[in-house]
């Protein structure tokens, strides 16, 4: 398992806090572990809550009707990279 960057760790902490994940700590979320399905087990409602929290925390909008959004939510690393890219473009 690869190491998390500081940005990925902060995002993992946000995920645990916003989604009230009681059985998972931010340290346990691997940067390349799938966020949905067999990975962390998030669902579409979790994605909506997380998208709202990301918008509030980072000022980055995730578009529900964008096909690329599914790839962005693939894992912690892809989500963090998207946030960094969009925040620096703003």
pLDDT in tens, 31-77: 999 999 889 999 989 999 999 999 999 999 887 667 788 899 999 99
What is the band of 87 on the pLDDT scale with cuts at 50, 70, 90? confident
Structural domains in the chain plus CATH codes: 6-89 (1.10.1200.10)
pTM, two decimal places: 0.90
What is the structure's pLDDT at 1? 54
Buried b (16+ CB within 10 A) or exposed e, 47-77: beebbebbeeebebebeeeeeeeeebbbbbb
What is the structure's pLDDT at 28? 95
């Amino acid at each position: 398992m690869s190491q998390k960057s500081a940005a990925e760790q902060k995002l993992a902490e946000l995920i645990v806090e916003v989604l009230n994940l009681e059985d998972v700590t931010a340290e346990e979320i691997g940067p390349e572990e799938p966020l949905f399905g067999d990975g962390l087990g998030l669902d579409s409602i979790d994605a909506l809550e997380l998208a709202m929290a990301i918008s509030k925390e980072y000022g980055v909008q995730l578009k529900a009707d964008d096909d690329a959004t599914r790839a962005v939510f693939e894992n912690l690393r892809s989500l963090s990279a998207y946030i960094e890219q969009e925040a620096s473009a703003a």
